[in-house]
Amino acid sequence: MANRNRPLSPFMLGTAYRLQITSVMSFLHRATGIAASVGAFGLAWWLLAVAAGGEAYASAAACLGSPLGMLALAAFTFSLVYHLLNGIRHLMWDVGMGFELPEVYRSGYTVIVLSVVLTAAIWFIALRGGA
């Protein structure tokens, strides 16, 4: 076999490999799946604090109400929304829809935009008190 001077992995970004929306979406799907799993532990912690009552809940509420806690909650919200929408996109592929390259790009950008919009809407409603 001839020795060719070519990259061995698509992870060699730069001149060897150009980042595409499909690879970014794949990475984000995996990352948001991990973030949603980690966030589930945070949700379990909060539920245990609610069940314990009093001081435990006050401590959890103070932690989640801090700027860092709010940032973590926003990231958790985005992770859930993005993972859900991109999962629906993958389900559409499973039934054979959306495989043409323009449709792949259109659905990718749609998932990203809808994820940001829905996350913002959820937080807008939550911060207004749900009404």
Question: Within 10 Å of residue 107's Cβ, how many Cβ atoms?
Answer: 21
Strands (E), the chain: none
Residue 104: CA count within 13 A, CB half-sphere: 12
Q: Is 90 assigned to a binding site?
A: no
Answer yes or no: are the C-beta atoms of 80 and 39 closer than 8 Å. yes
Q: Extract long-range pairs of 1-10: CB within 8 Å, 24+ residues apart.
A: none
Give binding residues as ranges. Answer: 83
Give binding residues for heme as ranges. Answer: 83
